[in-house]
């Protein structure tokens, strides 16, 4: 379903060119739970952003169901992102002056669809993550774990079929990490494709398959070691 072909992304820094990704190819099946590990600077975030339509590759292709997502109009690419992709970040990026339900409804409002339904959908999602009693709290009035759940509910607002998570457990204690991992597993069991980037071998083991990056390339030895 997702096919990455010979993906390269270079960044110019002064006179130097850094190849954050250097000829990466792999596939992700529909409904798969793939984890990506690798040392700091190995290209994990660059890969995830390229996968999610947020970062144009220097060369190579990102194919979703046979379509090269970067060969579409900017408008079609934006539509693809909002319809298909749900991002989960280490920082929650909640809007401080909006309530929990308003934060969750935000992506729906940006889409402009049926206004009356936004609150209903947001409330349903907050109930799903166990925050039905915190609908009108602002982020500063919520604990870290609750803020994380608001962020997850917002990620789900557009009902994405693909969830891309970049170190989502990076700032969480072990209990909250376990909660988030259980939720991701649930979302995967519902048929959503999950790609999760992490430093942690323990977290990486939660997936069906693990890809190891090193210096912008897939480290083959590590891959075969971790697969299965």
Report if residue 172 touches ligand ATP, rule: CB under 6 A: no
Strands of the sheet containing 16-28, edge to edge, are: 16-28, 2-13, 59-64, 67-68
Q: Which does 221 bind (CB under 5 to 8 A by kind): ligand ATP, Mg ion, none?
A: none
d(C-alpha 94, C-alpha 157), whole Å: 14
Options 6, 11, 78, 109; binder of ligand ATP; rule CB under 6 A: 11
Strands of the sheet containing 162-166, edge to edge, are: 85-88, 162-166, 193-197, 33-37, 209-214, 217-218
Options 33, 43, 203, 218; binder of ligand ATP; rule CB under 6 A: 43
Report if residue 41 touches ligand ATP, rule: CB under 6 A: yes
Report if residue 50 touches Mg ion, rule: CB under 5 A: no
The interface region with ligand ATP, picked from 41-49, 66-74, 155-163, 177-185 by CB under 6 A, is 41-49
Ranges within 50-79 binding ligand ATP (CB under 6 A) = none
Site string for ligand ATP, 19-38 (x = CB under 6 A): -x-----------------x
d(C-alpha 216, C-alpha 24), whole Å: 7
Q: Render the burial of 49-62: b for 16+ CB within 10 Å, e for the rest.
A: bbbbbebebbebbb
Options 45, 103, 155, 177; binder of Mg ion; rule CB under 5 A: 45
Shortest CB 41 distance to ligand ATP, Å: 4
d(C-alpha 225, C-alpha 228), whole Å: 8
Question: For residue 25, which of 4, 2, 51, 1 has the smallest C-alpha distance?
Answer: 4
User: Which residues of this chain interact with ligand ATP, rule CB under 6 A?
Assistant: 11, 13, 18, 20, 38, 40-46
């Amino acid at each position: 379903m997702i096919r990455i072909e010979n993906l390269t992304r270079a960044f110019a820094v002064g006179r130097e060119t850094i190849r954050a990704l250097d000829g990466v190819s792999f596939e992700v099946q529909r409904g798969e739970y793939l984890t990506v590990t690798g040392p700091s600077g190995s290209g994990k975030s660059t890969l995830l952003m390229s996968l999610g339509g947020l970062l144009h590759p220097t060369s190579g292709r990102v194919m979703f169901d046979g379509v090269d997502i970067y060969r579409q109009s900017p408008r079609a690419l934006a539509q693809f992102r909002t319809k298909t992709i749900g991002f989960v970040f280490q920082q929650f990026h909640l809007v401080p002056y909006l309530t929990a339900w308003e934060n969750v409804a935000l992506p729906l409002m940006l889409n402009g669809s049926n206004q009356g339904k936004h609150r209903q959908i947001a409330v349903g999602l907050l109930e799903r993550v166990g925050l039905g009693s915190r609908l009108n709290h602002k982020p500063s009035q919520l604990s870290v774990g609750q803020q994380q759940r608001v962020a997850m509910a917002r990620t789900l607002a557009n009902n994405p079929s693909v969830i891309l998570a970049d170190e989502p457990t990076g700032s969480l204690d072990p209990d909250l990490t376990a909660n988030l991992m259980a939720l991701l597993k649930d979302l995967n069991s519902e048929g959503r494709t999950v790609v999760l980037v992490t430093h942690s071998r323990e977290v990486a083991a939660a997936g069906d398959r693990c890809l190891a990056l090193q210096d912008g390339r897939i480290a083959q030895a590590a891959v075969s070691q971790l697969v299965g």
